[in-house]
Amino acid sequence: MKELTDRTALVTGGTSGIGLAIAEALAGAGANVMIDGFGETDACEALAKRLADAHGIKAAWTGADVSKPDQLAAAVDRAERELGPVDILVNNAGVQHVAPVEDFPVAQWDRIVAINLSSAFYATRLVLAGMKERGWGRIVSTASAHSLVASPYKSAYVAAKHGLVGFTKTVALEAAAQGVTVNCISPGYVWTPLVEKQIPDTMKARGLTREQVIEDVLLKAQPTKAFVTVEQVAAMALFLCSDAASQITGANISMDGGWTAQ
Ligand code: NAD
């Protein structure tokens, strides 16, 4: 039997990048997995089928918008009906917008805070009571190096990620005695569509070429001068779900090539 056999995980932002790698790692350890995220229906359903076939687990996809509490509630209901009680929640969905504060659109601020921060509350409040009752649970949120330090032009993202760490610490304390751990992983730059998409805006905001953004903005912050990989983040998430990590709670684990050590 694999370590997570008979556990069920809900992974938001599970259709792409870091979330998909985490879903793959959890499925590989035997967990049933519901991936939530946007994408073309056939392609997302094929992703879930691939996870189920490759790992011999149950998997499903939902396109719930995590910024909408009722859609998340429907996703949790469906996960519990089709796959089993949610023992592992991965709050990973995230979006970015890059602009100076004076020009930052209010709608973008609200969207980023809802998707990157409030969604963790919307989902946690639905699954925490069951985890406590069963005496076992894992909540892992993908924060960011931007939960510890700031960069210009990313005010909403930096504020939301700092907030996510505060939320994580609070829930960790509330659930500590019931076998539920609650942690953040804070990667530096990971090469995913989210990073790729912000390059044009950063070029515009700072008047740089694509190569300059990669070398002088993104990797400048990372002393190792290398992107973190999605597999490395997924391996950390999997570790946090293991029994070996049962005493790690309320933590914010940096995986940023030394960025925040500076
Ligand atoms: P990505 O763009 O590859 O994936 C984002 C995922 O979130 C997709 O599955 C997308 O469909 C989903 N999503 C977006 N809005 C959603 C919504 N409203 N409802 C449901 N799903 C939604 O990005 P990624 O780089 O894999 O990012 C994943 C997480 O990691 C984010 O929280 C991001 O802030 C964080 N992060 C990324 C990096 C990086 O360098 N890529 C670094 C630090 C932290």
The best mutation among 62, 71, 141, 194 to test binding of ligand 1, ranked by most ligand atoms within 8 Å of the C-beta, falls on 194
Burial class (CB in 10 A: 0-12, 13-18, 19+), 4: buried
Residue 185's CB is within 10 A of a number of other CB atoms, namely 27
And the tokens for 219? Answer: 């990797």
pLDDT of 39 reads 97
Indicate if the pLDDT at residue 194 is higher than 80.
no
Chain mean position to CA 10: 11
114 secondary structure, DSSP code:
I
Work out the pLDDT band at 193, boundaries 50, 70, 90: confident
Confidence of residue 197 (pLDDT cuts 50, 70, 90): confident
Tens of pLDDT, residue by residue over 62-90, are 999 999 999 999 999 999 999 999 999 99
Instruction: Tell me which residue has tokens 């994580």.
Output: 168
Find the 168 Cα to ligand 1 centroid distance in Å: 18
For residues 139 and 91, the answer to whether their CB atoms sit within 8 Å is yes
pLDDT tens across 144-188, in order? 999 999 999 999 999 999 999 999 999 999 999 999 999 999 999
Q: Please give the full DSSP string across 18-64, using - where no structure is assigned.
A: HHHHHHHHHHHTT-EEEEE--S-HHHHHHHHHHHHHHHTS-EEEE--
Tell me, using a 6 A CB cutoff, whether residue 198 lines ligand 1: no
Q: Name the residue at shortest CA distance from atom 33 of ligand 1.
A: 94
Cα–ligand 1 centroid distance for 220 (angstroms): 22
Is 19's C-beta closer than 6 angstroms to any atom of ligand 1?
Answer: yes
pLDDT exceeds 90 at position 223:
yes
The arithmetic mean of pLDDT across residues 181-197, rounded, is: 92
CATH number belonging to the domain at 8-190+228-251, selected among 3.40.50.720, 2.70.98.40, 4.10.1240.10, 2.60.40.2470:
3.40.50.720
pLDDT over threshold 90, residue 95: yes
In the residue annotation, 157 being an active-site residue is answered as: yes
What tens digit of pLDDT does each residue of 43-68 get? 999 999 999 999 999 999 999 999 99
- In the chain, which residue ranges form alpha helices assigned H by DSSP? 17-28, 41-55, 69-82, 106-113, 119-134, 155-175, 193-206, 210-212, 230-240
User: What tens digit of pLDDT does each residue of 228-251 get?
Assistant: 999 999 999 999 999 999 999 999
Residue 118 has pLDDT above 90, yes or no: yes
How many angstroms separate the alpha carbon of residue 160 from the centre of ligand 1?
13
Q: What is the pLDDT of residue 7?
A: 98
User: Ligand 1 pocket, 144 CB below 6 A?
Assistant: yes
